[in-house]
């Protein structure tokens, strides 16, 4: 759903996430066999806190109130004690609030470790910038450490985000499951999507309390190619596969995933963003044929 830049209403995507309390965004990033990018060995999952952090939408122009205590009345030539309230906006200063709560951090850390255990993953890395934002990211890390103690069989490590970016572009095989607050998660998960081939191929799943799952493709609404039958449906199809796995329909999920991977590996039908010239409908038909 499109969001206007720099002005206008709050993102509808964000509103949906807040209403349904979708607290974790899970994005598996795997190198697709058959679609070669500069990186061959990407096999990681990014789990991003979805409700708070920098995306709380709480911004304001800094202002302060002024109170005038005396007031001179020119006609009656008298000084009256009069309170005159005013609001002075400081031009050109804006503040944005980043909020980290213990509850939300614990929730997403729990989900990350639970996911790692359920899918046989060995390592969970918490990404942070606690050397600069000591209290906020420090709280996030404390929560992650608490949860890590309950899962002694899974290795837990903490990586500063700039170091993480560097390691990801040099050697993505170093990471397994990544758990992070909202903004870092946004950036890192898009970076990982870039490593495997771009937004046309990346699925994601938003997890809410009570087992709600909302699977969606990562990419935006792409208004420039809307309606032209050019879009790559792989991302949304792979998201549907993630949803099927969440519903424990593993065999159906496997079937569809194999069909998609085989179609891409063959290379005959590829949409424009993968370097081919097929239309969306042709690509979909090829996948159905492979089922």
Considering only 3-11, 28-36, 229-237, 244-252, which stretch makes contact with other proteins by CB under 8 A? 3-11
Find the helix or strand (DSSP H, E) in which 63 lies. strand 59-73
Check: CB of residue 160 under 8 Å from CB of residue 131.
yes
Q: Does 92 bind other proteins (CB under 8 A)?
A: yes
Q: Does 55 bind other proteins (CB under 8 A)?
A: yes
Q: How far is the CB of 264 from other proteins (least distance, A)?
A: 17
Check: CB of residue 11 under 8 Å from CB of residue 182.
no
Q: Does 141 bind other proteins (CB under 8 A)?
A: yes
**18, 30, 31, 37: which one contacts other proteins (CB under 8 A)?**
37
Indicate the angle between helix axes 280-290 and 250-266, nearest 10 degrees.
120
Distance between CA atoms of residues 237 and 95, nearest Å:
40
Q: Does 221 bind other proteins (CB under 8 A)?
A: no
**45: nearest Cα among 24, 27, 69:** 27
Q: How far is the CB of 207 from other proteins (least distance, A)?
A: 20
Find the helix or strand (DSSP H, E) in which 66 lies. strand 59-73
Q: Does 91 bind other proteins (CB under 8 A)?
A: yes
Q: How far is the CB of 156 from other proteins (least distance, A)?
A: 15
Q: How far is the CB of 1 from other proteins (least distance, A)?
A: 12
Beta-bridged to residue 24, according to DSSP, are: 49, 207
Q: Does 23 bind other proteins (CB under 8 A)?
A: no
Complex with other proteins: residue 95 or 251, whichever CB lies closer: 95
Q: Does 275 bind other proteins (CB under 8 A)?
A: no
Please give the residues from 181 up to 210 whose contact with other proteins meets the rule CB under 8 A.
183, 186-191, 193-195, 198-199
Tell me 277's DSSP state.
Answer: -
User: Which three-class secondary structure state does DSSP give residue 31?
Assistant: coil
Q: Does 14 bind other proteins (CB under 8 A)?
A: yes
**103, 229, 277, 281: which one contacts other proteins (CB under 8 A)?**
103
Q: Does 111 bind other proteins (CB under 8 A)?
A: no
Residues 6+ apart with CB under 8 A from 145: 156
- Strand 43-49 relative to strand 177-180, pairing: parallel
Q: Does 277 bind other proteins (CB under 8 A)?
A: no
Tell me 10's DSSP state.
Answer: P
Find the helix or strand (DSSP H, E) in which 151 lies. none
Find the helix or strand (DSSP H, E) in which 217 lies. strand 213-217
Q: Does 63 bind other proteins (CB under 8 A)?
A: no
Which residues contact other proteins (rule: CB under 8 A)?
3-8, 11, 14, 37-39, 54-55, 57, 59-61, 91-103, 129-136, 138-139, 141, 159-163, 165-170, 183, 186-191, 193-195, 198-199
């Amino acid at each position: 759903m499109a969001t206007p830049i720099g002005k206008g209403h709050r993102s509808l995507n964000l509103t949906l996430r807040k209403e349904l309390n979708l607290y974790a965004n899970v994005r598996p990033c795997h190198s697709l066999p058959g679609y070669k990018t500069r990186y061959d060995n990407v096999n990681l999952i990014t789990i991003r806190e979805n409700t708070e952090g920098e995306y709380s939408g709480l911004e304001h122009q800094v202002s302060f109130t002024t109170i005038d205590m005396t007031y001179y009345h020119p006609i009656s030539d008298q000084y009256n004690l009069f309170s005159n309230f005013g609001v002075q906006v400081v031009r050109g200063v804006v503040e944005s609030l980043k909020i980290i709560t213990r509850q939300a951090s614990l929730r997403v850390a729990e989900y990350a470790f639970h996911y790692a255990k359920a899918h046989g993953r060995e390592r969970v890395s918490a990404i942070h910038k606690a050397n600069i934002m000591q209290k906020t990211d420090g709280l996030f890390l404390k929560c992650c450490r608490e949860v890590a103690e309950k899962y002694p069989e899974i290795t837990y490590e903490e990586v500063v985000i700039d170091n993480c970016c560097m390691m990801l572009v040099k050697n993505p095989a170093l990471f397994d499951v990544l758990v992070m607050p909202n903004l870092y998660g946004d950036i890192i998960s898009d970076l990982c999507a870039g490593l495997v081939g771009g937004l046309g191929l990346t699925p994601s799943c938003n997890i809410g309390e009570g087992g709600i799952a909302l699977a969606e493709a990562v990419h935006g609404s792409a208004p420039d190619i809307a309606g032209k039958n050019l879009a790559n449906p792989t991302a949304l199809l792979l998201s549907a596969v993630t949803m099927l796995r969440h519903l424990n329909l593993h065999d159906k999920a496997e079937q569809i995933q194999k069909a998609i991977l085989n179609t891409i590996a063959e290379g005959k039908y590829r949409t424009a963003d993968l370097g081919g010239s097929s239309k969306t409908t042709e690509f979909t038909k090829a996948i159905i044929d492979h089922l």
